[in-house]
A and B are shown apart, each in its own frame.
Chain A
Amino acid sequence: MNTRAILAIARKDLKVAVQNNGVVLPIIILPLILFVVVPWIMVYASFLAEATGTSTNMGQLLERMPAGLLHELSGYTPDQQLIAFTLIYMLAPMFLIMPLMVSSVLAADSFAGEKERKTLEALLYTPTTDRELFTAKLLGSWTAAVVVALLSFIVYAINANVAGWQSIGHLFFPNWMWIALVLWVTPAVAGLGLVVMVFASARAQGFQDAYQTGGLVVLPVILLMVGQISGVMYFSLGVVMIVGLVIWLIDAVLLWFASKSFRRGELMTKF
């Protein structure tokens, strides 16, 4: 593998992507809302519920949660439980939207965007092999998605502890589940967004078209969120490890199919 060429293509894709507001704005705005604004709203809502005496309703929500979760929260007082539940568990599935969104938006720009800008042909005439080209195209978007997710996680960890400090009074975030979520599930989810977008881009006319088609990939994450809020399941360490494993397996299968169809001749006609 020609690593110099792979890094050059990845660098090119990222350089081009950051010039596109359609790519950059969601990457900045989404983590700002999810990991800076939302935690404070959650904590403020908890305090407000307590002050207005409606916290019993929230307590009822907790009562519907699986026993395992209640056990994990048993070390906290009832008021702390609400804050720990929202900051640790409720936002966990939402966190997965980050790598998914970043990888898919970058991949859409890298594959469909390249088609739209008519820049792919020159790339195909370079001495890179099909496999190098495919690896390079995935690498840039995947690395960026994982890095942005890690940075978001660090920002969120600081913010969650600061927001929850008044009620909990000690560092409570992250727990082992979050560590697994960030190091095991996040790279897998970034990969999922990427390969789905490779397929979407093959049929799309341009960046927006691909992004809209590939956007359906957030549906499983939304299902996980609903599952947790409704008390069907919760993000325990075990669940996170299993979810990660399933996504890695899906990635492997999709990646295999995508690499099979990633041939210069095919790209010349499809892209």
Chain B
Amino acid sequence: MSSPVIQISSLTRRFGETKAVDQLTLDVQAGEIFGFLGHNGAGKTTTVRLLNGVLESTSGEAKVLGLDPQTQGPALRARTGVLTETPSLDERLTARDNLSIYADLYNVPLADVSARVDFLLAEFELADRADEKVGGYSKGMKQRLALARALLHKPEVLFLDEPTSGLDPVAARHVNSLVENLARREGCTVFLCTHNLVEAQKLCDRVAVMEHGHLVALGTPSDLTRQYVKRLDVDLEVDPAQMELVLPILQGLPQLVIGSPKREKDVLTLTLSGRKAIPELLNILVQKGLRVYRLAPQEANLEEVYFALHGETQ
């Protein structure tokens, strides 16, 4: 990781008495896919607006690509691309028109406009219907076109606001792979606002979790799961002939095993009090003469982190 391309310090935005973003401080490194998580109203979209200079902050500072969004908005927006939550396309125009007009707005060199538009239409699998009005497109096609528009000028930082919201799984996977390629292949920094935690876990190098305008957690997905998910689910497999012996033993270890194990065929799924309980449990089972074939922890995911955090702040 190199120097931060986004630096935010105590950034605050009020709407009347409501603080949409409150004392937000974080950095995003170049080339990172940075997940910005939170439910509706958490302050994600407001932050994107503040970082692109389309909304003025109440207090605090931000720098994107070394530029101040409040005073250098136009220069900054020439180097960033934004995919808004709704595709924000002119549905009465064709896909080609939508891209050509924005190529002019983003100052794509005149000689390159046609080739760039054609390239993006092909890249996003829209070339066949490039000259049809966008109003007739499916939601997935509109989202791909909006993403193509955000990339017209080869931005250094790409802000994506709920890029897969409302898309079917196939279309969502397509959009996600496009985003991943952009970051990994072309070195574009991606600031991904989402409440899709599975998506964030798969794509993001680091994530920030927002709650009512506050930053409540920041780190890599695995750091966060270690930090916030105290319980751990494990799969336990023993000699099938000894299965009936295991359950009473587990029930006698309330300090290690939480709740009742679930059995599916010859595998038991247990919830342990934490990672440290694994060697202790294994030791006890072996001492009791059980033949343990497998004791495998299930990786916690961001969803559990999210709900753990949500529970804490509630």
Give A contacts to B, CB under 8 Å. Answer: 2, 4-5, 7-9, 11-12, 15-16, 19-20, 117-129, 264-265, 268-269
Contact = CB atoms under 8 A, between A and B. Distances in A.
B86 interface: yes
Interface in B32-83: 49, 52-56, 73-75, 77-78, 80, 82
B252 to A, nearest CB: 60
A12 to B, nearest CB: 5
A269 B107 CA distance: 27
B92 A16 contact: yes
A118 B53 contact: no
B149 interface: yes
B178 interface: no
Q: Is the interface of A mostly helix, strand, loop or mixed?
A: helix
Given A117-B90, A127-B105, 7 more contacts: A11-B101, A12-B97, A12-B101, A118-B88, A122-B102, A126-B106, A264-B73
A126 B56 CA distance: 16
Interface in B83-133: 84, 86, 88-93, 97, 101-102, 104-107
Contact of B90 (A5, A16, A125): A16
A126 B49 contact: no
B146 A264 contact: no
Nearest to B94: A15
B88 A121 contact: yes
25 contacts: A2-B107, A5-B104, A7-B104, A8-B101, A8-B102, A8-B104, A12-B101, A15-B92, A15-B93, A15-B97, A19-B92, A19-B93, A20-B92, A122-B82, A122-B84, A122-B88, A125-B80, A126-B77, A126-B102, A127-B106, A127-B107, A128-B74, A264-B53, A265-B55, A268-B55
Contact of B107 (A5, A11, A118, A119): A5
B54 A125 contact: yes
A265 B46 CA distance: 11
A114 to B, nearest CB: 9
B86 A8 contact: no
B88 A127 contact: no
Nearest to A11: B101
Contacts of B54: 124-125, 264-265, 268
Contact of A12 (B80, B82, B93): B93
Contact of A265 (B56, B78, B84, B97): B56
A82 B107 CA distance: 58
A16 B101 CA distance: 12
A113 B159 CA distance: 26
Contacts of B55: 264-265, 268
A5 to B, nearest CB: 5
Contacts of B92: 15-16, 19-20
Contact of A5 (B52, B73, B105): B105
**Residue of B78, B86, B92 with highest tally of chain A CB at under 10 A:** B92
A119 B107 CA distance: 20
Contacts of A123: 88, 105
